[in-house]
Amino acid sequence: MKTLKFKTSVSCGGCVATITPHLNKISEITKWSVDTTSPLKILTVETTGINPDVIIETLKSVGYKAELISSE
């Protein structure tokens, strides 16, 4: 299991609702969450192995920015 963290432009519950169906359809993601209270709006993704660019491009396709800040 790998944990990826991204700085994002996802800033509210409505934003989370917008990205939910797009992230949920990526089979390699086992769990994800966004801390909208954090200044960096951190998206944490638990994955079985995915290229971080897939997540960045997925968010970009629905109007949000994401930048990988941690890969554990």
Going along the chain from its start, the domains and CATH numbers come out as 2-71 (3.30.70.100)
Long-range contacts of range 65-68, CB-CB < 8 Å, 24 or more positions apart? 65/8, 65/9, 66/6, 66/7, 66/8, 66/9, 67/6, 67/7, 67/8, 68/4, 68/5, 68/6
| pLDDT number for residue 8 | 98
pTM listed for this prediction: 0.94
| pLDDT number for residue 69 | 97
| pLDDT number for residue 39 | 95
For range 56-66, the mean pLDDT:
98
